Amino acid sequence: MGWIGRIIVGGLLVFVGYLFVRHATWFVYNVMRIPWAEKWLRSSHNFYRLFGIILIFIGMLVMTNLWDSFLMATLGRLLGANK
């Protein structure tokens, strides 16, 4: 993927993540409540916000072309990557 494609895909991920963070209440009332999140995160709002923050983080990694480096630094040994 070229640099323009990375910026577009990363920007879309950041935008969707922003929507999850900004409109968590809408997702809870119109999409669904998540019983697991209600028990462990105290509300589904927190789940949708956490999911949005993760999407924003991944989008920024994609836009700056650090996705591969991040995966190698965090999961490289677990997946048996060669140095």
pLDDT tens digits, residue range 15-61?
Answer: 999 999 999 999 999 988 888 988 998 999 999 999 999 999 999 99
DSSP per position, 47-77: HHHHHHHHHHHHHHHHHTT-HHHHHHHHHTT
Sole residue written with tokens 């990363």: 10
Distance CA 67, CA 23 (A): 27
Residue at 80 is within a domain: no
pLDDT the model gives residue 83: 58
pLDDT the model gives residue 29: 92
Residue at 54 is within a domain: yes
> Given a cut of 90, is residue 9 above it in pLDDT?
yes
> Given a cut of 80, is residue 82 above it in pLDDT?
no
User: 59-76 pLDDT, tens per residue?
Assistant: 999 999 998 888 888 888
Q: How many domains does the chain have?
A: 1
Boundaries of domain holding 23: 3-75
pLDDT the model gives residue 4: 94
Residue at 81 is within a domain: no
Nearest to 63 by CA among 21, 18, 10: 10
Distance CA 83, CA 78 (A): 13
